[in-house]
Structure 1
Amino acid sequence: MKMGEGVEWGLHCCVTLAWLRDEGPVPIARLAAWFDLPVEYLKKRLQALVRAGILNSTPGVRGGLALARPPERITLLDVVTALEGGVDPFRCTEIRQRGASGASAADKFSRPCGIAMAMRRAELAWRRELAGQTIADLVAAAPASSAHRTRQGFAGLR
């Protein structure tokens, strides 16, 4: 499974915004500077999180982004789905029913394709794992020094 770099960016920004919850909205330019990312591309990625109700966007001079709900109510699957879409990574096109393979099949495909079933089970396990972890879990697993360094660093970026 391959995901775009926007997923990594979105997850890191969500964790950072969780650490900065008491600071008010954080401008996208400050997030981009913190991670050395292109502002416009980061803005496009984070707008998908705003549309999904994961982030709030406040316009104006004192505006920026903040988590739209508590970090324990934002799953990794929420972020991945907002950024990558809900498209299934595997799509069975039933090639077993084509050509000579399909013409010579004795059982006439009465059972679902075993390959499609195996891929679906793997996808469901992946989704369950992402749905079972939240931004709060990532915050809790990070070294305490990361949160402190982030707060200190953002105070210096003002």
Structure 2
Amino acid sequence: MSEGVEWALHSCINLAWSGPDRAVSAARLAAWHDLPAAYLNKQLQALARAGIVSSTPGPKGGFRLARPLDRISLMDVVAAVEGPDQAFRCAEIRQQGPGGGPAASFTADCAIAHAMSRAELAWRRELAAQTLDAIRQQAEIQAPQAPQRLRAWLEAAR
């Protein structure tokens, strides 16, 4: 999984903390965690295409959450940034080389591909079951001052 997923998840939480009436630029979101703005902007655009955030152009534009955090799952963000493809792709190497060929029987699915598919399904179900609101709540328990610090920092930039 790319670091873009982590960046996108943090950006969603930061947008929630910034408030529903404030659009935050990609550059400003990136500066909060000292990230490259151009790369973070790509992640935010992917979130916008998925309907997770909305963007407003112009000098006072930026990004806002498009829906509440309790309606955004970890899987929503992962799929937006990484795409819908499965992490494991079986290339059927069992059919190649001396172990493959016409004498071998390959009528059943590859046991490795089957096991990896089951594991990925469990992983995706777990990500889909966790909302960003639950993550926000945990973050606020761990760092209760974080939302106010972010809002004050954004205000100072105005």
Alpha-carbon distance in 1 for matches of 2:80, 2:16: 18
Alpha-carbon distance in 1 for matches of 2:134, 2:27: 26
From 92, 103, 117, the equivalent of 2:114 is 117
Q: Which residue does the alignment assign to 2:70?
A: 72
Give the C-alpha shift of residue 61 in structure 1.
2.4
Describe how 1:47-62 pairs up with structure 2 within 5 A: 47-62=45-60
Q: Which residue does the alignment assign to 2:41?
A: 43
Shift >3 Å, 4+ stretches? none
- Matched residue SS, 1:111: coil
Alpha-carbon distance in 1 for matches of 2:42, 2:96: 42
Unaligned runs of 5+ in 2: none
Amino acid at match of 1:119: M
Give the C-alpha shift of residue 44 in structure 1.
1.8
Give the C-alpha shift of residue 51 in structure 1.
1.1
Give the C-alpha shift of residue 139 in structure 1.
0.5
Describe how 1:3-22 pairs up with structure 2 within 5 A: 3-22=1-20
Amino acid at match of 2:155: A
TM-score by length of 1: 0.89
- Matched residue SS, 1:22: coil
Amino acid at match of 1:76: L
Give the C-alpha shift of residue 85 in structure 1.
1.1
Alpha-carbon distance in 2 for matches of 1:118, 1:54: 32
From 79, 82, 94, the equivalent of 1:81 is 79
Alpha-carbon distance in 2 for matches of 1:130, 1:34: 26
Q: Which residue does the alignment assign to 2:26?
A: 28
Alpha-carbon distance in 2 for matches of 1:10, 1:30: 14
Q: Which residue does the alignment assign to 2:125?
A: 128
Q: Is the 8 A contact 1:21 1:67 kept in 2?
A: no
Give the C-alpha shift of residue 98 in structure 1.
2.6
Give the C-alpha shift of residue 21 in structure 1.
2.4
- Matched residue SS, 2:107: coil
Q: Which residue does the alignment assign to 1:138?
A: 135
Q: Which residue does the alignment assign to 2:155?
A: 155
Alpha-carbon distance in 2 for matches of 1:149, 1:22: 17
* Mapped pair 1:96 → 2:123: no
Amino acid at match of 2:121: L
Equivalenced residue count is: 154
Alpha-carbon distance in 2 for matches of 1:56, 1:109: 48
Amino acid at match of 1:59: P
Alpha-carbon distance in 2 for matches of 1:109, 1:131: 34
Give the C-alpha shift of residue 25 in structure 1.
1.1
Alpha-carbon distance in 1 for matches of 2:28, 2:110: 50
Give the C-alpha shift of residue 125 in structure 1.
1.3
Alpha-carbon distance in 2 for matches of 1:94, 1:129: 28
